[in-house]
Amino acid sequence: MKIDIRNLHKDYNGSGVPALNGVNLTIEHGELVALLGPSGSGKTTLLRSIAGLESPTSGAILFDGQDALHQDVRDRNVGFVFQHYALFRHMTVLDNVGFGLSVRPRNRRPAASEIDRRARELLALVQLDGLEGRYPSQLSGGQRQRVALARALAIEPSVLLLDEPFGALDAKVRKDLRAWLRDLHDRTGHTTVFVTHDQEEALELADRVAIVNRGQIEQIAPPLALYRSPATPFVYEFLGSVNVLPVDVRDGKAFLDGCPVPLADAAQGTDAGAYRMYVRPHDLRLSEQRTPGSGALGVLQNVRLSGGLVRLDLKLDLIARPIEVELPVSDPRWSDWKKGDKLAIAADRFHLFPQAA
Amino acid sequence: MSVLASARRPARVIPGFGITLGFTLAYLSLFVLIPLSTVAFKTIDMGWSGFWGVLTDPRTQHALYLSFGTALIAALVNAVFGLLIAWMLVRYTFPGRRLIDAAVDLPFALPTAVAGIALTALYADNGWIGSILHGLGLKVAYTPVGIVVALVFIGLPFVVRSVQPVLEDLNLDVEEAAATLGATRWHTFSRVILPAALPSLLTGFALAFARGVGEYGSVIFIAGNLPKVSEIAPLLIVIRLEEFNYAGATAIAALMLAISFLGLLAINLLQAWNRRRTGGE
């Protein structure tokens, strides 16, 4: 099902800060979308609004073009998975999964044997067959979350919403469930929206990632596009690490510490003035200083080995914080460099944002 | 050294088992078991035929029937409305909530005789509420109905205070989960909230019931105390004492004790069964 969200606002009484401040978002049929943002950004409020667990102050939510905002949560037919599972602890796993079917109005309620069959089928789908008779307290965290997912899928929801589904699980289980959820989505094809504050999770799992900040969508894009071309400084800083350098733009060139850095074609029309250059650590190039003016000069402060990468901290005169550069371990030069060496810095890929922003 | 010591006696992780068990037994003996056992001994003194005489006395039978019957009805009423009040106090925030919360405990604090007199004044035929009910042909004060009213008053805090923490512990997301799965409010209540609250509700019910059976102070004012109509068993015990019929008094007490014990045991077994059924917490 396609979900359209138009200019959604939500004010919590008294706080003064709106939880949602004009959200526009379209989620295509069968898409897997992540809502990613820092805590308090409004991502959970947005998800709960789609489910009908929160009432937005104004705006519109459309399911396949039909107004959903004025529909009760019971009638929206959404599958919702809570961070802390929210299982019914006095019911067996089987009864938990069958609950949604067993509370249907009598004329739409399947026979008890049919409910039983469907619940078992779903438990097989989430690889929990054999645990039908257990109670939630007898399951591990990962198993509980899979029961919660099976329970949500039992009502054949038109959209599946997950609120930090792996937030309460340990790292290993998280990784397993992530791959498993992606696989499940590919097989069942539910339109799925999930909230997370874990960027790795969002980038790995989602078709598109929406970055939520201060009650607004900063950017929505496929993971790679989001990482490579962040639309705002916030997205740049939120996703991965980034260096921020002050530059001056004039004559179609950016000047870092007085040294020219060539601008990409797309940035050729940039007005002259002061800008901030956002550049990823792995998009910076280092070279030993041979000729004057080959790049801005940095003093090597620190070299750290981290897995397949070498991280180097360099101090530039014009900013207080050292900048970070990443090189592959296979780069032969770094082992010769020592603390205090002066190295020239150049940037391959970067974005410029106006100084004032 | 420590290895040897632990080989002789398995070490417990939680210390102090011996001393706490000893204290518990001594304390229970001093305040509960020894006083209650004297009831049994005194009753044995009167012999089987004397006991049988008390047991078959219609006045005794009615008093026991009335005490347990009214306590049961009052505990049932409290179970329903106590759950409702606990629910409201947990789920909603509104001005004056703390005040209502505190007011629930008042029946604990008030001398029960005061409660009895106040309820009698209200429910007597010329009282505020009593006069209205009288117009409808209902008589509350000086009837078994009046006893139930007094016991409802006395027992309410037991139910509310037993259920409240459990409902607080029951996360809102469980109810939200039920709603997203399409459950109506009634289904959410009957299938999700009530089963979760049931063990604590049973506890509150048992406490309110036990308290109601033994209640004396508030009941004697509102009951009217007519033999075989509105005379409760604790009052009959006092009457027997005033007649210097100590054996007769303890015989009734022993009967009450036995019935109460069986009732509470049944509730405890029910709880244990329920715990086992849901795989414990």
Q: Please tell me if residue B190 touches chain A, with a CB cutoff of 8 Å.
A: no
Nearest chain B Cα distance for residue A192, angstroms: 15
At residue B279, the pLDDT reads: 57
User: For residue range A277-310, what is the model confidence (pLDDT) as tens digits?
Assistant: 899 998 888 888 666 666 778 888 988 888 888 9
At residue B6, the pLDDT reads: 47
Residues in chain B with pLDDT values less than 70: 1-11, 278-281
Listed residue (A219, A243, A240, A252) closest to A351, CA to CA: A243
User: Does a structural domain hold residue B247?
Assistant: yes
Q: Which residues of A touch B93 (CB under 8 A)?
A: none
What are the structure tokens assigned to B41, written together? 């001994």
Residue A179 in this model has a pLDDT that exceeds 80: yes
How many beta carbons lie within 10 A of that of residue A348, not counting itself? 13
User: For residue range A46-77, what is the model confidence (pLDDT) as tens digits?
Assistant: 999 999 999 999 999 999 989 998 899 989 99
Q: How many residues does chain B have?
A: 281
Residue A150 in this model has a pLDDT that exceeds 90: yes
- A59/A36 Cα distance (integer angstroms): 21
What are the structure tokens assigned to A162, written together? 């997950």
Q: How far is CA B209 from CA B112, B155, B254, in A?
A: 16, 7, 18
- Would you call A258 helix, strand, or coil by DSSP? coil
Listed residue (A177, A173, A174, A196) closest to A185, CA to CA: A177
Classify residue B58 as exposed, middle or buried by CB count within 10 Å of its CB (0-12, 13-18, 19+).
exposed
Q: Could you give the domains of chain A?
A: 3-236 (3.40.50.300), 243-354 (2.40.50.140)
CB A11 within 8 A of CB A21: no
Q: How confident is the model at residue A266 (pLDDT cuts 50, 70, 90)?
A: low
First and final C-alpha spacing in chain B:
38
pTM of the model: 0.78
Residue A134 in this model has a pLDDT that exceeds 70: yes
Beta bridge partners of A315: A299
Q: Please tell me if residue B194 touches chain A, with a CB cutoff of 8 Å.
A: no
User: Does a structural domain hold residue B218?
Assistant: yes
**Percent of chain A at pLDDT above 90?**
43
Q: Which residues of B touch A155 (CB under 8 A)?
A: 181-182
User: Does a structural domain hold residue B35?
Assistant: no
Closest A-chain CA to B278: A90
- When the pLDDT of each residue in chain A is averaged and rounded to a whole number, the result is 88
Q: Cβ B279–A138 below 8 Å, yes or no?
A: yes
Residue A204 Cα to chain centre, angstroms: 9
Q: Please tell me if residue B196 touches chain A, with a CB cutoff of 8 Å.
A: yes
The residue among B171, B180, B271, B275 with the most chain A CBs within 10 A of its CB, best to mutate, is: B180
User: Does a structural domain hold residue B266?
Assistant: yes
Q: Cβ B179–A78 below 8 Å, yes or no?
A: no
User: Does a structural domain hold residue B28?
Assistant: no
At residue A356, the pLDDT reads: 65
Q: Cβ A86–B174 below 8 Å, yes or no?
A: yes
Q: How many residues does chain A have?
A: 357
Domain count, chain B: 1
User: Does a structural domain hold residue B164?
Assistant: yes
- A278/A155 Cα distance (integer angstroms): 46
Q: Cβ B281–A137 below 8 Å, yes or no?
A: yes
At residue A351, the pLDDT reads: 86
Q: Cβ A80–B177 below 8 Å, yes or no?
A: yes
Nearest chain B Cα distance for residue A353, angstroms: 42
The β-bridge relationship of strands A66-67 and A58-63 is antiparallel
In this structure, of A80-89, A212-221, A291-300, B135-144, the range with the lowest mean pLDDT score is: A291-300
Classify residue A48 as exposed, middle or buried by CB count within 10 Å of its CB (0-12, 13-18, 19+).
buried
What are the structure tokens assigned to B244, written together? 């210097």
- A121/A114 Cα distance (integer angstroms): 10
Nearest chain A Cα distance for residue B196, angstroms: 7
User: Does a structural domain hold residue B33?
Assistant: no
Q: What is the CATH number of the domain that holds B204?
A: 1.10.3720.10
Between residues A294 and A259, which one has the greater pLDDT?
Answer: A259
At residue A265, the pLDDT reads: 64
Residues 6+ apart with CB under 8 A from A229: A221, A351
Q: Which residues of A touch B173 (CB under 8 A)?
A: 82, 84, 86
User: Does a structural domain hold residue B249?
Assistant: yes
At residue B9, the pLDDT reads: 62
Query: Which DSSP state fits B68?
Result: H
Q: How confident is the model at residue A14 (pLDDT cuts 50, 70, 90)?
A: low
Find the domain containing B132 and state its range. 46-276
The residue among A88, A132, A134, A144 with the most chain B CBs within 10 A of its CB, best to mutate, is: A88
